[in-house]
Amino acid sequence: MTSTFPDISISTERLVLRPLEEDDVPALAEMMNDEQVAAWTDVPQPFTEDGARAWITEHAPAERTAGRGLHLAVTEFLTQRLVGIIQLTRTNWHVRSTELLYVVAPWARGEGYAAEAVLATAQWLFRDQEFERIELRTAADNTASQRVAQKVGCISEGVLRNACIAHVRAEDGTWTDTRTDYIVWSLLPEDLEGAGEQLAETGGFTSFSDWN
Contact criterion met (CB below 8 Å) for 37 and 51: no
Nearer to ligand COA, 8 or 152 (CB): 152
36 lies in the site for ligand COA, by CB under 6 A: yes
Contact criterion met (CB below 8 Å) for 150 and 136: no
Calculate the CA 26 to chain-centre distance: 19
111 lies in the site for ligand COA, by CB under 6 A: yes
Alpha-carbon torsion 66, 209, 111, 136, what sign?
negative
Kindly report the backbone phi and psi dihedral angles of residue 42, in degrees, each rounded to the nearest multiple of 5, phi listed first.
Answer: -100, 15
182 lies in the site for ligand COA, by CB under 6 A: no
How far apart, in whole angstroms, are the C-alpha atoms of residue 20 and residue 202?
26
12 lies in the site for ligand COA, by CB under 6 A: no
Minimum distance from residue 10 beta carbon to ligand COA (Å): 16
Nearer to ligand COA, 129 or 142 (CB): 142
For the segment 149-178, give every residue that binds ligand COA (CB under 6 A). 151
147 lies in the site for ligand COA, by CB under 6 A: yes
H or E element, residue 90: strand 82-92
How far apart, in whole angstroms, are the C-alpha atoms of residue 90 and residue 25?
24
47 lies in the site for ligand COA, by CB under 6 A: no
88 lies in the site for ligand COA, by CB under 6 A: no
Nearer to ligand COA, 19 or 116 (CB): 116
Interface residue list for ligand COA (CB under 6 A): 36-37, 40-41, 101-104, 109-115, 138, 142-145, 147-148, 151
